[in-house]
Structure 1
Amino acid sequence: MRLPFGDGSIDVELPACSATVAEPRGGEPIDVRTAAEAAIADSDGPALSELATASDTVAIVVTDVTRATPDGELVDLLLSALGSEGITRDQVTVVVGLGLHRPMTDAELESMLGEHAALAVNHDPAETIAAGEVDGVEIECNRRVAAADLVLATGMVEPHQYAGFSGGGKTVAIGAGGESLIRYTHGPDMLSQSGVRLGRIDDNPFRQVVDTAGELCGLEFCINATHGPAGILDVAAGEPRNVVRTLVDSARDALSVEVDGEYDAVIAGVGAPKDANLYQTTRAATYVALGAKNPLREGGRIVIPAELSEGAGEGTGEQRFHTWLSEAESAESLYNRMRTGYAPGAQRAFVVARTLREHDVYITNSEAPDVVDDCLMYARERVEDAVDPGSDVLVVPDALNTLLV
């Protein structure tokens, strides 16, 4: 079998095991530019032409390197549409929604945005302005976003551990927000609520909070995409909540796989850009174990080939994640300690601890085996070294874009 690895793939052979492959229907890839043009022209909610005036200053919040959003195409089309309303480039700032991830490099911005990279600034959570309150929590917003007359966003609607699906208001509220909202939404009280789960947007308190916070930050119009193994599957534009709901329907249809029985091991593929660091890579483990259906039997393990060129990760959140895991004696003790609270970014350590209480996680083929071993997980040179002979194995080639149901 072939699994994603970095920008390429690796071949895995398990001749002594029984293997079942969970591959979603996937859908047919679309031409992003054609679909995005049509989405902007026929938006769900007020048209961009109704929202923009020639004198407006505009902030476009985009996703960062951890998302596979076609931001370059989407920003180019948004700028073209704004230009039709008399808005020039010097009235526009592109804010990279980092949340607590590391800043993007100039080379990465050039690769992502092309000729529009000169308009981009990395979000700094320390440079935020109060925008209102949700559930008694102060909502902070990037100062450039807060100062703009019109706020737009790109986004990727894909399965998300807490929001159900990402995209919509989350790009602005979390990506271009401050630590207060991240602390609240990613804290143990929020993440312990039953409605906060992968693949669910209805009655999901996390989703509700980030949608409201995005509105408080001024977001009026977004253009989002959703994707599957074959590529981008759909694009929608307009009112953010409507856009998310439209693309969730497309994503569920393309990404859901029914799973029968229980397995000794799940091999979960990740690939670039998510397998650059351990923080993002562990999403595959928690998506498997904490999703709608856990396919593992008691004591089953999760095996993930990942490049880990950045080790644990370089951002504030990634470093907090690493500190919690690397200093813990056990998953159980870590989980119990984190139940009392933690700084934003460390939430991934909390959900990883939840997973590790029930299942061992093996990371193979990586450039940072010492980091893996330090973080309560097991490093192995190859996938084959992490699977016991005779195991019943479920292979999920694209674990971050597969909903096991």
Structure 2
Amino acid sequence: MSTVKLKYMSSYVDVDIPDKNLYAVLNPEDLPGVIDPFREVREALDKPIESIPLKEMAKSKKNVVILASDITRPSPSHILVPPIVEELKEAGVEYSDITVVFGLGYHRQHTEEEKKKLVGEEVYSKVRCIDHDINDCVYLGTTKRGTPVEVFRPVAESDLLIATGNLEFHYKAGYSGGDKALLPGVCSKKTIETNHVMMIRPGTMPGRAQGNPMREDIEEAGRIAGVDFIVNAVLNSHKEIVKVVAGDPVKAHREGAKYIDKMYKRNIEEKVDVVVASCGGFPKDINLYQAQKGLENASYAVRDGGSIILLAECREGLGEATFEDWMMRAKTPHDCVEWIQQEFKLGAHKAAVICMVLERAKVYLVSGLDENLVRDIFFIPAKSVQQALDKALKEYGEKAKVLVLPYANSTLPYVE
């Protein structure tokens, strides 16, 4: 018998798994943060991947735009942007010809204080820093999957476009970073929604770029809009920079993705009968909306008709109003999947992806939520992990295979 410790709430719980059933325990493995992050950025700029150096690219440019993430993202813009601005200045670009545009997607506008904090005092005082305006976009073309590429006017009018961001798994577009700074970052509502509906297509999943319709559509939009160069930071779970990549928007992005894979992707031979998944305790399981990440990752290791046992305390309930509304209104999990195709709604999109998992596997939820509420949203309430596991082992028999994800929010099991 093997005893596995799992984080739940602010402490740990144990689960006993018969050795004959334990298939694997998968853990993430952080790489250490670099000692000098600014130097790491400069080195990436000096050795761009599959691209001429930014200094050469910027010669005689009169309208340079740098895309930066908004305040809801962990991208370290205050470290990435200053060396880019220095590089542009050395190439002869005037400060007055540089604009930083914060990609808001659907999010709220920033205060001036927040903009200053995002790029640092020095950059803020020298170059124009503006928010993307979702209502002031210009049509530039249509992708072959039918997404109209409508881009924020100042971005569309630039003669050199540099995208910054951080690289991590994205639950449907494969990875964040790269051309995602453009779409959804600085596009119109119509563009964002048309692309986002692709999240229910086969091939969309974390850790997959090739053959992922959502990511490929984003990258085609990047070519239509003319993203010239990227600078992306790879962060570990402590939000420290472990690597910076710069250069070609696709080739440099893929190079950076290898570091994410090394830390958080775990290859397995086959899908199993039962996956036991802890989100990693508080605050990663503060509500079901946040815990979705762990459930999604667990779903890539479970076979159709298998069971997931999810540990998520959810002390703040379901966690998002639109998400809650859809989960409570649905009569079957398929309702949410249908509704998202008729009308894309932020917040509700997580209800759709959770319901896609619920359509193909049983999900036991070990949480602080009321049992009736848990049943109403198509999960099976469980008093403890052990109780749920014993029940699942009884159902799948002697040879049932069990896989454990102690940090499901940041571990991606991947069947090649």
Q: Tell me whether the two structures share a fold, i.e. TM-score over 0.5.
A: yes
Distance 2:8 2:366 in 1: 14
Instruction: Give, as a single letter, the amino acid of the residue that structure 2 aligns with 1:269.
Output: G
**Structure 1 position 38 matched with structure 2 position 49:** no
CA positional deviation for 1:103: 3.7
For residue 267 of structure 1, what is the aligned residue in structure 2?
Answer: 278
**Structure 1 position 341 matched with structure 2 position 345:** no
Q: Which has the larger radius of gyration?
A: 2
For residue 68 of structure 2, what is the aligned residue in structure 1?
Answer: 62
For residue 247 of structure 2, what is the aligned residue in structure 1?
Answer: 238
Q: 1:325 pairs with 327, 339, 344, which one?
A: 327
Distance 2:116 2:72 in 1: 15
Q: 1:257 pairs with 263, 266, 271, which one?
A: 266
**Structure 1 position 200 matched with structure 2 position 208:** yes
Distance 1:48 1:332 in 2: 48
- Is the Cα contact below 8 Å between 1:306 and 1:363 reproduced in 2? no
Counterparts of 1:104-253 in structure 2, within 5 Å, are 104-106=110-112, 108-115=114-121, 116-117=123-124, 119-135=128-144, 136-187=146-197, 190-229=198-237, 231-253=240-262
Distance 2:276 2:88 in 1: 51
Distance 1:91 1:375 in 2: 56
Counterparts of 1:5-20 in structure 2, within 5 Å, are 10-14=10-14
- Is the Cα contact below 8 Å between 1:130 and 1:140 reproduced in 2? yes
Task: Check 1:93–1:373 CA distance in 2 against 1; reply closer, same or farther (3 A cut).
Answer: farther
Task: Check 1:134–1:283 CA distance in 2 against 1; reply closer, same or farther (3 A cut).
Answer: same
Taking only the aligned residue pairs, the percentage that are identical comes to 23
CA positional deviation for 1:219: 1.1
For residue 29 of structure 1, what is the aligned residue in structure 2?
Answer: 33
- Is the Cα contact below 8 Å between 2:104 and 2:186 reproduced in 1? yes
Distance 2:281 2:164 in 1: 23
1:186 alignment partner, SS class:
helix
Distance 2:367 2:264 in 1: 25
CA positional deviation for 1:250: 2.2
For residue 81 of structure 1, what is the aligned residue in structure 2?
Answer: 87
- Is the Cα contact below 8 Å between 2:279 and 2:291 reproduced in 1? no
Distance 1:152 1:401 in 2: 30
- Is the Cα contact below 8 Å between 1:304 and 1:364 reproduced in 2? yes
For residue 307 of structure 2, what is the aligned residue in structure 1?
Answer: 299
CA positional deviation for 1:251: 2.0
CA positional deviation for 1:123: 2.3
Task: Check 1:321–1:141 CA distance in 2 against 1; reply closer, same or farther (3 A cut).
Answer: farther
Q: What stretches of structure 1 of length at least 5 have no aligned partner?
A: 313-318
Q: What stretches of structure 2 of length at least 5 have no aligned partner?
A: 390-401
Task: Check 1:265–1:25 CA distance in 2 against 1; reply closer, same or farther (3 A cut).
Answer: closer
Task: Check 1:95–1:210 CA distance in 2 against 1; reply closer, same or farther (3 A cut).
Answer: same
TM-score of the pair, normalised by structure 2:
0.78
Q: Which moved more, 1:178-187 or 1:252-261?
A: 252-261
For residue 316 of structure 1, what is the aligned residue in structure 2?
Answer: none
CA positional deviation for 1:224: 0.7
Instruction: Give, as a single letter, the amino acid of the residue that structure 2 aligns with 1:14.
Output: D
- Is the Cα contact below 8 Å between 2:229 and 2:247 reproduced in 1? yes
Query: Which structure is higher in RCO with an 8 Å CA cutoff and minimum separation 6?
Result: 1
2:250 alignment partner, SS class:
helix
- Is the Cα contact below 8 Å between 1:275 and 1:308 reproduced in 2? no
- Is the Cα contact below 8 Å between 2:75 and 2:165 reproduced in 1? yes
1:49-106 deviations in whole A, cap 9, x for unaligned?
1221355222211123343221110011111111212334333222222222344455
Distance 1:386 1:117 in 2: 51
- Is the Cα contact below 8 Å between 1:302 and 1:359 reproduced in 2? no
1:12 alignment partner, SS class:
strand
Q: Which moved more, 1:18-27 or 1:126-135?
A: 18-27
